[in-house]
Structure 1
Amino acid sequence: MIVFGGENLIDFIQEEGAEGYPLYRAIPGGSPYNTAKATVRQEVPVGYMTPFSSDSLGVLLVRELEAEGVKLLGATSEKPTSLAVVSLNNGHATYQFYRENTAERDITQAALQATLPKGTEVFHVGSLALTNGADAEAWTAFFEEVARAGTFTSLDPNVRAAFINDRDAYLARLERLYSSASLIKLSDEDLGWIAPGEDMEAATRAIFARSSAALVVLTKGAEGAYGVTKDETFDIAPVAVPDLKDTVGAGDTFMGTLLAQSSRAGLTAPGALAAAPAGEIRRILETAARAAAINCARSGCNPPRLDELDG
């Protein structure tokens, strides 16, 4: 089972309204939540371990993930659901978040230890859950603990700069996560904040060099993707999206596809990803790029299913 930790929230996504006033539709979301959905659609077992609120929005989040076939592992919290307001400008998404004292932050390291199923194949974490507060420290320490136990670990920082109130502490936290990760994905926007002014591919190689990851991937939006292993670098051509709807969930779809395809290829076993042939790594990266493009041709986070990628 691939197990996900990190935030769940409700996205209020902008739609066209009457007389120029935008309307906002409530959609379940959050980067790890969306990545779990993208992964399970490729027919691998998935669990999600972050608590959900008992409020009506929390019930909506639960129903959505259960309908996808994700096993819900976390507790229910009486705290409210986190919220994000997603505004669109020519199809590009910008975000505002509201998540103080909310259910998805209602965790401790001890509770996470008790929640993770025995025999977990992969543990993934990322995004808002790592930005600040006691929950960010709990997720980071838990990630390190899981890695020490020999489980394949996956990281997508999905940086949300507006929530990072201590840049140095956040970057130090990322370094700890890099040192325990088997697979890392970053976007060009992430690296623009993490390593401003640096060449992005060089910065990706530098992160690989100081991490424990067998593969570090940089997604570059309409310019494709770039991957680094100990022996190879990979330039992945962009996949055209003739009818772009929006970019909501594109990075999460890419990440979920990396995980699902790695699992299906047996590359999450100890040492397997590091020993994988270059052709297999390229295939997985190209499949992830294709999946993200399919998602961009749809409104919101709506990742493809396995038969859409195999067809």
Structure 2
Amino acid sequence: MFDVVALGELLIDFTPYGVSEQGNILFERNPGGAPANVAVALAKLKNKTAFIGMVGNDEFGTFLKNVLEDNGVNTDGLKFNKEVNTTLAFVHLNNGDRNFSFYRNPGADMMISTEDIDFNIIKNSKIFHFGSLSLTDEPSKSAALAAVKYAKDNGIVISYDPNLRPPLWKSLEHAKEMITLGLNFADILKVSEEELEFITDTKDLKEGTDILFKKGIKLIFVTLGEKGCFYRYEGGFGLVEAYKVNAIDTTGAGDAFLGAVLHKISDKSLKQMTDMKKEEMEEIIKFANKAGALATTKKGAIPAMVTMEEIMRGI
């Protein structure tokens, strides 16, 4: 039995790493991809996790498979594509914040089909986690929807992260349509402040999360960077402040946060999650805020995921 099975993109993040003698920016090869980051974040916290996705049959793909296995993530659901290369993303940093240039036209993560999915892996999980980038194109869209529908039909808790990456969508209208489609399955939702506004057309955290809560989403977490996390669930809503750190790279911070949340609730039923007292919910968010903050003090995504020892050591 897996605590969490994650489906989606596994890719190479090329992260800035200083300059050459000629003054050119150097890039370091780092493993990434939001759902894969979450799987590793949980594995680093000693949860049993598995990843379902596709990489190219190239050196990058082999590297990524090895990284997942070295971090304790089951890769039985990871497939190799012989025709399409592993997806690449170049990370551009500005005062610790980042944006991306993607090489994904197509990329191997988009090419996973329903026939590639081992549904037994999903059946043997407590939580199924996916992201919206699997919904940008076919055949990954149909594969992701088949997987999440299967998980839902089998009573598995659904975790969803609608990553908004405008360059990867045909249009913002298409992005909103597909992201909203994913919301229909979600029990647990992690969104950024920007994504909440994009989905609900309001900047007001109370109003936006209320709109989503009324859609039937049970646990909602809005990550606010250095301002912390706003949450809403059956027991109420509130803001939990962030920890102050010297952030050098925010790539993967939200995934470290979500991994820490899922770690704390993976042994609970959905009813037990929704029945939690506010004090317990806020303690979970404090723990997750610490994981997210610590991840920003390291470069890269998967390499920045933190251990329990690091979280307990504090900030």
Same fold (TM > 0.5):
yes
Specify whether residues 143 and 93 from structure 1 end up closer, same or farther in structure 2 by C-alpha distance, changes over 3 A only: same
Shift of 1:59: 0.8
1:147 to 145, 152, 168: 152
AA at the equivalent of 1:262: I
1:16 to 18, 29, 38: 18
User: 1:122·1:154 contact (CA, 8 Å) conserved in 2?
Assistant: yes
AA at the equivalent of 1:129: S
Q: What's the C-alpha RMSD, in Å, of the aligned pairs?
A: 1.8
Shift of 1:107: 1.7
User: 1:84·1:95 contact (CA, 8 Å) conserved in 2?
Assistant: yes
Q: Which residue of 1 aligns with 2:273?
A: 273
Give the 3-state SS of the residue equivalent to 1:276 in structure 2. coil
1:234 to 238, 241, 255: 238
Q: Which residue of 2 aligns with 1:101?
A: 106
User: 2:111·2:139 contact (CA, 8 Å) conserved in 1?
Assistant: no
2:205 to 179, 200, 203: 200
AA at the equivalent of 2:289: A
1:247-262 alignment, distance < 5 Å:
247-262=250-265
1:306 to 305, 308, 311: 308
Q: Which residue of 1 aligns with 2:6?
A: 4
Shift of 1:127: 4.0
Q: Which residue of 2 aligns with 1:178?
A: 183
Whole-Å separation in 1 of the counterparts to 2:13 and 2:194: 20
1:34 to 27, 32, 37: 37
Describe the superposition over 1:199-230 as per-residue Cα deviations: whole angstroms up to 9, x where unpaired: 2332122112113x220110001111100002
Shift of 1:136: 2.1
Whole-Å separation in 2 of the counterparts to 1:91 and 1:159: 19
AA at the equivalent of 2:85: P
Q: Which residue of 1 aligns with 2:71?
A: 68
Whole-Å separation in 2 of the counterparts to 1:77 and 1:198: 41
Gaps of 5+ in 1: none
Describe the superposition over 1:104-160 as per-residue Cα deviations: whole angstroms up to 9, x where unpaired: 222222432546343211110014222333312331342133112200110011111
Describe the superposition over 1:257-282 as per-residue Cα deviations: whole angstroms up to 9, x where unpaired: 1111111xx22x24221122222211
Specify whether residues 137 and 271 from structure 1 end up closer, same or farther in structure 2 by C-alpha distance, changes over 3 A only: same
Q: Which residue of 2 aligns with 1:138?
A: 143
Percent of paired sites with the same residue: 27
Whole-Å separation in 2 of the counterparts to 1:207 and 1:194: 9
Aligned length: 306
Which consecutive segments of 4 or more residues in structure 1 shift more than 6 A?
Answer: none
Specify whether residues 201 and 98 from structure 1 end up closer, same or farther in structure 2 by C-alpha distance, changes over 3 A only: farther
Give the 3-state SS of the residue equivalent to 1:133 in structure 2. coil
User: 2:9·2:34 contact (CA, 8 Å) conserved in 1?
Assistant: yes
User: 2:35·2:130 contact (CA, 8 Å) conserved in 1?
Assistant: yes
Gaps of 5+ in 2: none
Greater Cα offset, 130-139 or 154-163 = 130-139
Whole-Å separation in 1 of the counterparts to 2:199 and 2:166: 10
Whole-Å separation in 2 of the counterparts to 1:127 and 1:26: 24
Specify whether residues 30 and 295 from structure 1 end up closer, same or farther in structure 2 by C-alpha distance, changes over 3 A only: same
AA at the equivalent of 1:126: G
AA at the equivalent of 1:16: G
Whole-Å separation in 2 of the counterparts to 1:111 and 1:132: 16
Whole-Å separation in 2 of the counterparts to 1:121 and 1:133: 27
Shift of 1:198: 3.3
AA at the equivalent of 2:155: G
User: 2:202·2:208 contact (CA, 8 Å) conserved in 1?
Assistant: no
Shift of 1:192: 3.6
Shift of 1:101: 3.1
Shift of 1:98: 1.3
Whole-Å separation in 2 of the counterparts to 1:34 and 1:216: 19
User: 1:144·1:177 contact (CA, 8 Å) conserved in 2?
Assistant: no
Whole-Å separation in 2 of the counterparts to 1:188 and 1:112: 32
Shift of 1:244: 1.9
Whole-Å separation in 1 of the counterparts to 2:252 and 2:219: 22
User: 2:32·2:300 contact (CA, 8 Å) conserved in 1?
Assistant: no
